[in-house]
């Protein structure tokens, strides 16, 4: 699923009944679990050690590395604030099962087709594309999944326009699971900081 549709409100609804458990607390060696009582649904765990933070749970697994104490990296002064683009640059490992960080996006593919067309004809950013060209693009713009998009581009043949370097475009978006994990990490740090009597 496309992570662009995941909002803070949706995430907070998912974790409204979660409780934090500290499994290990030894300086920056930490292991915490956040879960609903008596269920593992949408549960997750975070483990930190010098220079690393590992997130694991229903939304996948990610290992980040940036600073000695990774809680300081994910801690925000602005409440529940995430920076998934920048944070993705710090990922050292991601799930091999599930969606990982990025996945193919039909919306991004079709936007890239439109942008490449405008560029090919030297049109302004929001200029209307002529109807005869739009007709040529129909197989690309009507595709509604990755296989159809790739196949349509592979088979595309036109005397009016070419897409020689098309695959240099970004046609992926961050996944729902990755964005959810980013919210979860930032939220977990807030929950951790709010514990008065840590072991």
Q: CA of 63: how far to CAs of 72, 97, 110, in Å?
A: 15, 14, 32
Residue 58 within a domain: yes
Number of domains in the chain: 2
Average pLDDT, the chain: 92
What pLDDT is stored for residue 41 in this prediction?
87
Instruction: Work out the average pLDDT over 94-113.
Output: 88
**Domain range for residue 30?**
3-103+175-193
Rounded CA gap, 158 and 105, in Å?
24
Question: In this prediction, what percent of the chain has a pLDDT beyond 70?
Answer: 96
Give the residue, 40 or 3, on which the prediction is more confident: 40
- For residue 1, pLDDT over 60 is answered with no
Rounded CA gap, 134 and 140, in Å?
10
Same domain, 125 and 186: no
Instruction: Work out the average pLDDT over 68-85.
Output: 93
Instruction: Work out the average pLDDT over 93-106.
Output: 84
What pLDDT is stored for residue 150 in this prediction?
96
């Amino acid at each position: 699923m496309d992570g662009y549709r995941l909002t803070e409100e949706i995430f907070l609804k998912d974790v409204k009944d979660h409780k934090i458990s500290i499994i290990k607390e030894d300086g920056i060696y930490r292991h915490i679990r956040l879960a609903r009582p008596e269920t593992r649904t949408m549960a997750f765990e975070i483990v930190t050690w010098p220079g690393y933070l590992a997130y694991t749970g229903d939304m996948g697994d990610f290992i980040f590395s940036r600073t000695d104490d990774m809680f300081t990296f994910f801690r925000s002064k602005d409440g529940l604030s995430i920076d998934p683009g920048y944070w993705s640059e710090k990922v050292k490992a991601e799930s091999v099962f599930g969606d990982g960080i990025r996945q193919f996006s039909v919306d991004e593919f079709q936007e890239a087709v439109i942008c490449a067309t405008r560029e090919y004809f030297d049109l302004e950013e929001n200029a209307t594309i002529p109807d005869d060209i739009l007709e040529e693009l129909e197989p690309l713009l009507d595709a509604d999944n990755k296989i159809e998009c790739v196949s349509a581009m592979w088979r595309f043949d036109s005397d009016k326009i070419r897409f020689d370097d098309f695959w240099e475009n970004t046609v992926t978006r961050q996944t729902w699971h990755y964005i959810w994990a980013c919210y979860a990490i930032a939220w977990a740090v807030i929950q951790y900081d709010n514990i008065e009597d840590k072991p």
